[in-house]
Amino acid sequence: MTGRSYTRRGFLTLSSVAVTGLGLTACTGASLSSGGATAPASNKLRLFTYEDDETIGLLKAQVKTFDEQNGTTTTIDSLPGSGAAQYPDKLRTELLGGSGPDIWRIWGGQIGAPFAKAKQAADLAPYYQKYGWDSSINTAAIEGMTFDGVKSGVPFTARGLGAWYNKELLAKAGVTAVPTTYAELEEMNGKLVAAGVTPCGLGGKFGWHVMRLFEYLLEHTAGPQLHDKLLVGQESWDRPEVVEAFTLFKKWQDEKWLPEGALGLDPADIGRAYVEGKTAYSIEGQWSETSAILAAKKDPAQFGNFQLPTDHTPARHSGFVEGYMINARSGNKDKAAALLDFLMKPDSQKAMKITSSTVTGAEPDPKELPLSAEWGEKYGARPFYTIQDQAFPKKEADQYFSVQSDLLQGSMTPAAAAKKMQEIVSAWSRD
């Protein structure tokens, strides 16, 4: 199956349905070179993830409970903050080097697809049947971790992105209601700048954070149907709607609606700047309530969220699925699956404060996570478009990051950016 057909499975399924808001130590010794042998069974497991420093302790606490109950010893290694720009490459290097983990966290779509295609990830169908995951996990989310008919991962979260904002700063700028049209969003940005407030906190380090703005602008200029076709290479990117999106992207920087030097800013810092009062809002998901607001010991009542207005019907937002895969060469697949089943229990999901869980019965508690619950109630039933760096394979996503960097630095025009993107996507479509 080609990379394009993987994208169409992961992307079109998730875009057409709503998903409710939702040195490392080698322990396996598994060899993943061609023909590599399965590692011997043991009571040791290794889990590789990209949990933030603020949430890694919650995962470790649940894993510790599982270990105590099952006589296992699980090592957890994490590479936080780098996102899809670095983590998949680090994981791939480990797997090819023979020291891959028993379990790894991964995004769906084109980021998870290569591990399934290379048969590095185990077919989890037997465990879906054993543990009843088909009936306890959101069906659309499962599709996001299914490749060429093979259930290669178990999704634990389906995330939707929107504007998470600081109420005090909007009030300071005289903004009395959140925008419901794109024109109103631009008007709000202008008021914030006039009040001495940087509107949108996004960073360009690693590429993926500020990308969230472009994909939103593309949804606005192209509309849902064309946007979908662009992401799977069915329509040319060298067209007025794409040029307009890139033009608006540059406008956001030139009008100072983004922070000064945005391209060099780390998402781990600037993404939570709205909580610190340094920016008015950021494009984030429900995780922001735990990793930014509660981690800073702030009152959620001081903040809010809204879906960025696209001026189209259906009104969509960016979204993506994350889950876990099991090493096909692990000698501990049964134990690894048992650990995943433990983590997929509603009580475990709640204990880990998964704010957009795919598991029935693990919905956010409005008393503990009011903003996450609010997002789910208002926007959880709406469809979403797959986040761009998950819709594209890794190579093409990196090439896009180069285009956005050149555009924002002024070395590439919006028209040239559209042409370059068509070259990138058409080359991928021919692979």
Q: Tens of pLDDT along 44-91?
A: 999 999 998 888 999 999 999 999 999 999 999 999 876 777 899 999
Residue closest to 160 by CA, chosen among 355, 1, 369, 403: 355
Residue 17 lies in a domain: no
Q: Based on the domain organization, do 75 and 103 belong to the same domain?
A: yes
Residue 380 lies in a domain: no
Give the Å distances, CA to CA, from 82 to 205, 208, 313, 326, 403. Answer: 9, 9, 34, 22, 19
**What CATH number has the domain bearing residue 166?**
3.40.190.10
DSSP-assigned letters across all residues of 38-72: PPPP-SEEEEEE---TTTHHHHHHHHHHHHHHHT-
Does residue 17 surpass a pLDDT of 60?
no
Q: Based on the domain organization, do 134 and 263 belong to the same domain?
A: no
143 near 14, Cβ under 8 Å?
Answer: yes
d(CA 399, CA 420): 9
Residue 67 lies in a domain: yes
d(CA 178, CA 195): 17
Residue 12 lies in a domain: no
When pLDDT is averaged across residues 294-307 and rounded to a whole number, the result is 97
pLDDT at 40: 81
Mean per-residue pLDDT of the chain: 90
Q: Based on the domain organization, do 310 and 328 belong to the same domain?
A: no
d(CA 293, CA 246): 31
Structural domain including 61 reads 44-159+319-374
Residue closest to 102 by CA, chosen among 377, 338, 263, 402: 338
Residue 383 pairs in a beta bridge with 18
356 near 159, Cβ under 8 Å?
Answer: yes
Q: Based on the domain organization, do 148 and 170 belong to the same domain?
A: no
Give 247's DSSP letter.
H
pLDDT at 394: 87
When pLDDT is averaged across residues 385-392 and rounded to a whole number, the result is 91
Does residue 291 surpass a pLDDT of 80?
yes
Q: Based on the domain organization, do 265 and 175 belong to the same domain?
A: yes
Q: Based on the domain organization, do 62 and 109 belong to the same domain?
A: yes
Residue closest to 351 by CA, chosen among 10, 33, 46, 57: 57
Q: Based on the domain organization, do 170 and 308 belong to the same domain?
A: yes
Using only the alpha carbons of the chain, give its radius of gyration.
21
Q: Based on the domain organization, do 142 and 198 belong to the same domain?
A: no
Higher pLDDT, 411 or 389: 411
Phi, psi of 38 (to 5 degrees): -70, 135
pLDDT at 81: 74
Does residue 223 surpass a pLDDT of 50?
yes
SS3 state of residue 107: strand
Residue 29 confidence class, pLDDT cut points 50, 70, 90:
very low
pLDDT at 191: 98
pLDDT at 86: 86
pLDDT at 49: 96
d(CA 146, CA 106): 13
pLDDT at 325: 98
Tokens, residue 62: 């649940």
**pTM to 2 decimal places:** 0.81
Q: Based on the domain organization, do 407 and 367 belong to the same domain?
A: no
Q: Which residues contact 195 (CB under 8 A, 6 or more apart)?
A: 169, 172, 173, 174
Residue closest to 277 by CA, chosen among 302, 295, 260, 254: 302
Q: Tens of pLDDT along 261-271?
A: 999 999 999 99
Does residue 16 surpass a pLDDT of 80?
no
Does residue 202 surpass a pLDDT of 70?
yes
Residue 5 lies in a domain: no
The rounded percent of the chain whose pLDDT value lies above 70 is 90
Does residue 32 surpass a pLDDT of 70?
no
Q: Tens of pLDDT along 148-197?
A: 999 999 999 999 999 999 999 999 999 999 999 999 999 999 999 999 99
Give the Å distances, CA to CA, from 201 to 32, 153, 187, 283, 348. Answer: 41, 32, 17, 8, 32
Residue closest to 141 by CA, chosen among 384, 394, 339: 384
Least confident of 22-36, 277-291, 340-354, 388-402: 22-36
d(CA 89, CA 330): 20
pLDDT at 429: 67
pLDDT at 13: 42
123 near 136, Cβ under 8 Å?
Answer: no
When pLDDT is averaged across residues 287-292 and rounded to a whole number, the result is 93
pLDDT at 68: 98
The structural domain count of the chain equals 2
Residue 61 lies in a domain: yes
77 near 25, Cβ under 8 Å?
Answer: yes
Q: Based on the domain organization, do 49 and 148 belong to the same domain?
A: yes
179 near 188, Cβ under 8 Å?
Answer: yes
The rounded percent of the chain whose pLDDT value lies above 90 is 81
User: Which segments of 119-203 are extended strands (E)?
Assistant: 146-147, 150-151, 154-160, 162-166, 198-200
Does residue 219 surpass a pLDDT of 90?
yes
Q: Tens of pLDDT along 404-431?
A: 999 999 999 999 999 999 999 999 866 6
Q: Based on the domain organization, do 72 and 171 belong to the same domain?
A: no
Tokens, residue 115: 């591990």
pLDDT at 431: 61
Q: Based on the domain organization, do 347 and 223 belong to the same domain?
A: no
Residue 186 lies in a domain: yes
When pLDDT is averaged across residues 283-294 and rounded to a whole number, the result is 95
